[in-house]
Amino acid sequence: MPFHLAVGLSNCEQIFEPGGTIEGYVTFDLRESIKVKAIRISAEGLATTKWLLSESSKSSHGRSREVSYSAKVTYLDEDQMVWKPSEGHSKSSVFPGIHVYPFKFQIPIGVPPSFEGDHGNIRYHLKATVERPWKTNRSITRYLTILPPKDLNKEVTAGEETSSWKTKNVGFFLFRYGKVHLELRIPKKGYVPGETIWIETNIDNASSRPILKAECYLIQQCRFLAYRYGIAGPTDGRRASSLSENDRYLSRKRDEIKIVSVIHEMHIEPRTEHKSKMKLKIPCTCPTFDSTLIHVEYFVVVKLHVKCRLRNTVKAECPIIIGSKPLKDEQLTPRTPTYQEVATFSALTHRSMLSVDEKLTPKYVYYPKYGRSRDEEDEPPNNKHQRRKMSQRKIQKVMVQPVNLIFRYLQNRTRVQIWLYEDVTHRLEGYIIGFDEFMNVVFDEAEEVNMKTKGRNKIGRILLKGDNITLIHAAAQEA
C-alpha cells in the first residue's frame, strides 16, 4: 500500500450539536510519489428506513410476494476539495511525506440526533476520497454523533406530575375472579439519563385471587415511516405537506424495546388494597425526538401478575420525556455529564434488512452521579470494618438488554454475577427458574469472561455477543 489516508477531528469526543461546526484535517501519508486528480472530504447526514412486507397477489394462483418499503431524508450534504492539481492540469504528482489538509463544515440547525433502530437509522459521517487517474479511488469513512441539546426547562410539561390507571377483569369466561385496579403516579414527566424515576402505585385487588408480583420497566417506543418501493417520499429535512395517513403507498412500523426493568415480589391478598413505591434508574439512551421518518418516545410501565391462568396481568403506562439537560428548579444537583455508547441489536421477532455489521454505536449524554452529594461519592474504604460493611451490601438486580449496557453498568464493581437464559417463567429472590442453561460469570477482561456452567463442572472462556442472547439479568455487588 503506497499511502495511508486518515481523518482527524479537533473534537476528540466526536459529538457535535446542530448549528456548530465540524473541524478537522485529512492526513495523507505517502511513501512514494503518485499521480492524484483530487483529494475530497464530504460530510453527509441521512435518515433511512427500510423493511419488507409480504403481500398476496390478486392473480388466480394467489401467491404472496415480498414488497420493499423504504424512505430517505438528507439532512447534511456538503463536499470540499482539500487538494487539487495546479491550474491547467487534470492531474499532478504528490511527493512522499505526511500531508495534512484542514477542513471545516457547518451543521444545519434543527437536524435530529444520531440513532440506530431495527428498521431505520440516522447517521452522520465524514468521507475522505483520493481520486487517482486510471485506478480505483481510495476512501475512508468516519462516523460522527450529532446530539441536539434537549433542554427539559423548555418543555412545558416536563415538571408536571403524570399519572395513569387501569381497571381490568382477571380470568376468562366461566373463570372470572373479579376486578383489579392499578393506579400509578410519577412526580414529574422530564428526566435525564442517570436519574432515578420514583413511581407510586395504588393497587386495589377486588378479585378473589392474590397478586404475586409487580414488574416495572422503561420502554423505548420507535415509530418508522417508509414508502412502497421508496417512491413518494420526502427528499429533504423539511416535513412534506403531502404526507397522509391514507396514502396507499405509505407503511409504518412500531418497535418497543425494554430498556431497564425491576421486578418486585409481593403478595397482595384478595379484597385488599396496597400502596408501594418503585424506582427505576434510567440508563444511557437516546433523548426523545421527532423527525420526518423516525419518532422516539418513552413510557414507564407497571404490570401486575395475578395468580390465575388466563388474563392474569394488569398493565398501566405513563409517557415521560428524556432530555439531555435536567430541570433547574430541582433540589438535586446533577454532576458533570459524560458521553457513553449505546449498542442495539435487531430484535429476533422482526425481520430487518440491516445487518449487524452496519449498525453503529452512537454516544449520548449520561449523568453517572445525578443527585449525589460529595459525601456520597465513591471513595475507597479507610479501614477493614468499612470494607467488610461494603462487601455485605444488598446485591442490586437490574435487567438490561444490550450487552454493552451490562459492561458499562458493572464497571467499578469487583464481584459480578450474570445469568444468561432463553426462556424465563418465574424469578424469586434472585434465583431463576425455567431456563435452558445457567452460567455463573466472573469478569476477567473488558469483554472476555471466565465461564463456569452449573451442574456440568465445565470451565471455559466465552465472548459475550448480543446476537446469541435474548435476555440478560445482571447482579452486581459493590466492592
Task: Answer whether residue 431 shows pLDDT above 50.
Answer: no
- Spatial separation of the C-alpha atoms in residues 159 and 17, rounded to whole Å: 25
247 SS3 class: coil
pLDDT (average), residues 45-74? 84
Write down the mean pLDDT value for the chain.
Answer: 74
Say which residue, 372 or 463, is predicted with more confidence. 372
- Using one digit for the tens of pLDDT, what is the confidence trace for 254-263? 999 999 999 9
Lowest mean pLDDT segment, chosen from 4-8, 73-77, 123-127, 393-397: 393-397
Q: Which residues contact 197 (CB under 8 A, 6 or more apart)?
A: 186, 191, 218, 279, 280, 281, 282, 300, 320
User: Cell triple for residue 153?
Assistant: 426547562
Structural domains counted in the chain: 2
Q: In this model, does residue 142 exceed pLDDT 80?
A: yes
Query: 182-195, pLDDT tens digit by residue?
Result: 999 999 999 999 99
pLDDT band at 97 (very low <50, low <70, confident <90, very high): confident
Q: What is the mean pLDDT of residues 414-423?
A: 35
With 60 as the cut, is the pLDDT of residue 178 above it? yes
User: Domain with 99 in it: what CATH number?
Assistant: 2.60.40.640
Give the residue numbers spanning the domain of 431.
383-479
Does residue 329 lie in a domain region?
A: no
Question: Which set of grid coordinates corresponds to residue 458?
Answer: 465445565
* pLDDT score at 288: 96
Torsions phi, psi of 357, nearest 5?
A: -65, -30
State the Cα–Cα distance between residues 440 and 454, nearest whole angstrom.
7
Per-residue pLDDT tens for 161-175?
Answer: 999 999 999 998 878
The answer to whether residue 176 sits within a structural domain is no
Is there a domain that residue 391 lies in? yes
Of the candidates 122, 146, 170, which is a domain's last residue? 146
Q: Report the range out of 24-38, 45-59, 87-101, 209-223 with the highest average pLDDT.
A: 209-223
Which of the pair, 349 or 387, is modelled with greater confidence?
A: 387
pLDDT (average), residues 215-237: 80
Predicted TM-score (pTM) of this structure: 0.72
Residue 293 lies in a domain: no
Among 70-74, 199-203, 230-234, 456-460, where is mean pLDDT lowest? 456-460
| Buried residues in 153-186 as b, exposed as e (16+ CB within 10 A) | eebeebbeebebebebebbeeeeebeebbbbbeb
Checking if the pLDDT of 116 tops 80, the result is yes
Q: Is residue 302 part of a domain?
A: no
| Domain end call among 128, 146, 164 | 146
Range 342-352 average pLDDT: 45
pLDDT of residue 61: 65
Note the pLDDT of residue 88: 60
Of residues 208 and 174, the one with the higher pLDDT is 208
Domain assignment present for residue 171? The answer is: no
Nearest of 242, 217, 428, 382 to residue 303 by alpha carbon: 217
- Residues above pLDDT 70, as percent of the chain: 66
- 29 compared with 370, residue with greater pLDDT: 29
CA–CA separation, 23 and 27 (whole Å): 13
Mean pLDDT within 269-297: 94
Distances (CA, A) of 254 to 117, 141, 206, 296, 313: 11, 30, 34, 10, 23
Task: Please tell me the predicted confidence (pLDDT) of residue 330.
Answer: 63
The predicted pLDDT at position 1 comes to 53
Tell me which of 146, 167, 184 is where a domain ends. Answer: 146
Instruction: Check whether 208 has a pLDDT greater than 90.
Output: yes
- The whole-number pLDDT of residue 182 equals 96
- pLDDT tier, 402 (very low <50, low <70, confident <90, very high otherwise): very low
- Look at 19-23, 244-248, 264-268, 431-435 and tell me which has the smallest mean pLDDT: 431-435
Q: Report the pLDDT averaged over residues 365-383.
A: 58
Confidence at 147, pLDDT banded by 50, 70, 90:
very high
- pLDDT surpasses 90 at 179: yes
pLDDT value of residue 335 = 67
Phi, psi dihedrals of residue 268, rounded to the nearest 5°: -100, 115
Range name among 150-159, 347-356, 430-439 with the lowest pLDDT average: 430-439
Q: Is residue 99 part of a domain?
A: yes
**Count of residues making up the chain:** 479
Examine residue 291 and state whether it is found in any structural domain, yes or no.
no
What are the angstrom distances between the C-alpha of 322 and each of 110, 158, 163, 197, 256? 18, 9, 17, 11, 16
Which grid coordinates are listed for 407? 459492561
214/205 Cα distance (integer angstroms): 13
**pLDDT of residue 425 exceeding 80:** no
